[in-house]
Each structure stands twice: as C-alpha cells, then as structure tokens.
Chains A and B, each alone.
Chain A
C-alpha cells in the first residue's frame, strides 16, 4: 500500500479533520512498522523537522525527535521556552517564518494557547503537526490512543469507552472523543460537573450524531466498560480546595475501583500519571498504558512519513 494523497503535505491540527479511513491508514501503517521494524529507517533522509515547543515537554518532544531521526531527518528547534528567543517575546508567527526560511520541511508545534496549531497552519505553507495546543487538542496522542485500543481488541467498533478525569482541560480527551466519533463506539464521559467535557466538544460531537453519556462517578459504569481512558484531575483546575478533596478519591483508579470491571477491560492513560492511576494495576491484564506509550514512536514515524511522502 502506498501512502495516499490524502496525507501528502497536510496539516494535523485537529483529530476531527480526519476521517475513519485516514485513521485506519495510519493504524495499518503502525501495525506494519511494528511487524517490520526498521522498514522506515532513513525514509526521509535529508529532510528537516523543526520541533517548536513553546511549552515544555519531555515525552512528546522526545518521541517526535527520535521518530524524525530514525526516519533520517535532521532535527532543529527547541524543547521548551527556556533558552529560546520565546523568553525574549518572539511570537509564534515570527518563529515559524524564521524556521520556514531555514528550510524546514515540517513543523511540530506545541503551544500553551488554544487554537495555536490552526493559526500556525494558516501562516505557514509547510505542514504543521500539532503536539498539543493549550487545553484544546492533542491529535497525535488520539492516534496513539486509537492504536492502543485496536491493538488490545483487534477492532474499535462495538466497544464501550469511558473517559475519566479532567475532560474539560485535558487536551487528549477532546482529541480522542473526536477520533472515536468515526467509529461505532459507545462513549461515556466520567467527571465531576466542573470538569465535564467542554460544550464546544459535545456540540461538535452532536453535529456528527454522537451524544456521549455523562456520569459523575466511575462506580456506576465500571462494570460496563471495555476501555477506561484515565486522565489526571489537576488540583489547580478546581476553584474550591474542599471540592477537590471531596472529588479526587472518586476518580482514583485502583483495583478496588475496578472490582466490578470486566476481566477484558483495558485501562489507558496518556501518561505521565500522578496518583489517579494506582501502580497496583500495572501488573494486571487491565494495564494497556505502557503498550499505549510504546506506540507513540512508530505512530509518529508513520505520520511524518505519510505527510512528507517518504519511501515505504
């Protein structure tokens, strides 16, 4: 299978810009790469990836960096604002323009502002891949998540997926919800009211005919789920500290919380975790998050290769 023209030179700013067959093409590519490790090594030799991380990142930056290097690309840019001209006040606009002048073939951009990825894609003729923009979206993480789900079940259709934690400010959850809306899945958002999914996300899902259920506690739905996608509740996001203390225990996933779960349940987490996901899950069949994390590298290699039209 050769890369489809759908991907050549395209931007990746939102998971909702992708259709089912495009997600499937990416997932098949990752599966293929995992079977034939090394098959894409050097495929983009001589091209330049500019990784522009206006917000600090360790794992997403590293996975893009290693992916680009394995593809034979040269890598330039910065892993956070410290030590870059961002601290001097250089704008996203000017930074992109500058790196475009240096001959970048692709931009990977992380920014703290919502919508920064779409803006970057508008001002640049070079393809832009979002590595997260504020609390809006993190589309490549959603692709990683889809891959982990498919790897566990061999399919995505027909599954019941619960998304738990800080759905309002967590950028991975909105992207995953958009991605899942292309499949025949049953989605439940599990969060305290203050951290339920943003209205614009539910509105966009509604336009696609998807109306996720909403729950305030894991307990009531744990037994029904095939996939539990856990995200962290950040203390600073809840205005009232006593409210935080009240709710945090309700969203901690440990063996006790999964007492009624199906034996086939898979727990996903975009990582890093703090205390919302207990290590007592790690050695159980529920844990899919390390498999999920390992998919990040091949997925980003496949995506870069599809966009830049490398050899296969």
Chain B
C-alpha cells in the first residue's frame, strides 16, 4: 500500500493496531474539519511492524499536532512516536507524561465544579505517574490513563 511522502505535517506512528480512531479522538482531529483547514489525513490500520507486530499510523499533511495533545495521547498509548515534518525534514518528538494537564480533559465526576455550566472553571488534573492515574485538581476524582479518550474535551 503506497502513501506518498509528506513535506509538511505530522506522522503519529506505533499506535496499537485498530486503535487509530481512539488516537484521532484524543488528538481532536475532528477540529480540522470544523476549521475547514486545508489538510489531508491518512489513517493506516493493521500495518505490519517490526516492533509491535501490527500497528496503526496517522499521517496528517500540512498540520502539526500540538505537543500537548501528543503528550496526552502517550498516556493512553505509551509507545507512540511523533514525527514532525518541515520542508521534508523529519524531527522526532518524544511525548512525555506531563505533571499536570489543563483544559483538555473533563472530570469524570459529573458533580465536580469543573463540570458546572456557566462557572468559568478550567478543568485541571495532576498526574500520578506510577499509578497511571489523573487526579482532578478540584474534586480529587481519579481517572485512569486508559479512560482518558472518553473524557477528551472537544
């Protein structure tokens, strides 16, 4: 299967096989459609991989994924690699588990003040890296890294 090289953009590699839809949700790629941006996205699924056996890849032409979104994706899929391409040159970005996350994920506790309409609260979480948990700054609720895709804010 041939997909042409991209000159500008992002390649997210080593996504577990058949999980590209989840990665796409975490990276909030739907916003590209809303922005009517002049970008193309190719999703490759179940591609053979030396490291993983099988893997998914997302290639985004003419769009750089935000590093912070890539960091959040690495909570769910720790093995992903991110390549930014500028004028044909590839630079690798190694996503890292952040100490805190602000604004990108909503609290799983429905009764949390950060889920209250009209209150100007920005949801914030601290990461408990060893336990693979996020903890809400406001209500202390815990969210497993693996459950993050369900709580990504649009």
Query: From residue 58 to 78 of chain B, which have CB atoms closer than 8 A to chain A?
Result: none
* B110-154 near A? 1/0 per residue, CB < 8 Å: 011110101111000000100101011111111000000000000
Q: When chains A and B are docked, how far (Å) is the Cα of A238 from the Cα of B38? A: 52
Stretch in contact with the other chain, from A71-79, A88-96, A159-167, A226-234: A88-96
- Smallest beta-carbon distance B133→chain A, Å: 7
Among residues of B, the one whose C-beta sits closest to the C-beta of A200 is B140
Query: From residue 199 to 233 of chain A, which have CB atoms closer than 8 A to chain B?
Result: 199-201, 203-204
Asked if B113 and A111 make an inter-chain contact with CB atoms under 8 angstroms apart, the answer reads: yes
Q: How many residues of A contact B (CB 8 A)?
A: 21
Contacting residues, chain A, for B30 (C-beta < 8 A): none
Asked if A200 and B131 make an inter-chain contact with CB atoms under 8 angstroms apart, the answer reads: no
Contacting residues, chain A, for B118 (C-beta < 8 A): 89, 91
Residue A9 lies at the interface, judged by CB distance under 8 Å to chain B:
no
Residue A279 lies at the interface, judged by CB distance under 8 Å to chain B:
no
Q: When chains A and B are docked, how far (Å) is the Cα of A113 from the Cα of B117? A: 11
Query: From residue 97 to 129 of chain A, which have CB atoms closer than 8 A to chain B?
Result: 111-116, 118-119
Query: From residue 34 to 49 of chain A, which have CB atoms closer than 8 A to chain B?
Result: none
Contacting residues, chain A, for B131 (C-beta < 8 A): 203
Q: How many residues of B contact A (CB 8 A)?
A: 22
Residue from B119, B138, B142 in contact with A114 in the complex, judged by beta carbons closer than 8 Å: B138
Among residues of B, the one whose C-beta sits closest to the C-beta of A204 is B140
Contacting residues, chain B, for A201 (C-beta < 8 A): 140
Q: Given A89-B118, A91-B119, A203-B133, is A113 in contact with B111 using a C-beta cutoff of 8 Å?
A: yes
- Smallest beta-carbon distance B142→chain A, Å: 5
Q: Given A92-B119, A93-B120, is A116 in contact with B140 using a C-beta cutoff of 8 Å?
A: no
- Smallest beta-carbon distance A293→chain B, Å: 27
Among residues of A, the one whose C-beta sits closest to the C-beta of B131 is A203
Contacting residues, chain B, for A70 (C-beta < 8 A): none
Q: Given A200-B140, A204-B140, is A115 in contact with B113 using a C-beta cutoff of 8 Å?
A: yes
Asked if A114 and B111 make an inter-chain contact with CB atoms under 8 angstroms apart, the answer reads: yes
Contacting residues, chain B, for A92 (C-beta < 8 A): 113, 119
Q: Is chain B's interface secondary structure helix, strand, loop, or mixed overall?
A: loop
Residue from A113, A199, A200 in contact with B116 in the complex, judged by beta carbons closer than 8 Å: A113
Asked if B111 and A119 make an inter-chain contact with CB atoms under 8 angstroms apart, the answer reads: no
Among residues of B, the one whose C-beta sits closest to the C-beta of A201 is B140
Q: When chains A and B are docked, how far (Å) is the Cα of A204 from the Cα of B133? A: 12
Asked if A134 and B139 make an inter-chain contact with CB atoms under 8 angstroms apart, the answer reads: yes
Residue A136 lies at the interface, judged by CB distance under 8 Å to chain B:
yes
- Smallest beta-carbon distance A44→chain B, Å: 29
* A56-93 near B? 1/0 per residue, CB < 8 Å: 00000000000000000000000000000000010111
Q: When chains A and B are docked, how far (Å) is the Cα of A112 from the Cα of B113? A: 9
Contacting residues, chain A, for B128 (C-beta < 8 A): 203
Contacting residues, chain A, for B141 (C-beta < 8 A): 114, 200
Residue A173 lies at the interface, judged by CB distance under 8 Å to chain B:
no
Among residues of B, the one whose C-beta sits closest to the C-beta of A113 is B113
Q: When chains A and B are docked, how far (Å) is the Cα of A226 from the Cα of B141? A: 31
Asked if A203 and B109 make an inter-chain contact with CB atoms under 8 angstroms apart, the answer reads: no
* A119-151 near B? 1/0 per residue, CB < 8 Å: 100000000000001111000000000000000
15 A-B pairs within 8 Å (CB atoms) are namely A91-B119, A92-B119, A111-B113, A113-B116, A113-B139, A114-B139, A115-B138, A116-B138, A119-B113, A119-B121, A133-B113, A134-B111, A136-B139, A199-B142, A201-B140
- Interfacial residues, chain A to chain B (CB-CB below 8 A): 89, 91-93, 111-116, 118-119, 133-136, 199-201, 203-204
14 new A-B contacts, CB < 8 A, other than A116-B113, A133-B113, are: A113-B112, A113-B139, A114-B111, A114-B139, A115-B138, A116-B138, A118-B137, A119-B138, A135-B111, A200-B135, A200-B141, A203-B128, A203-B133, A203-B135
- Interfacial residues, chain B to chain A (CB-CB below 8 A): 107, 109, 111-114, 116, 118-121, 128, 131, 133, 135-142
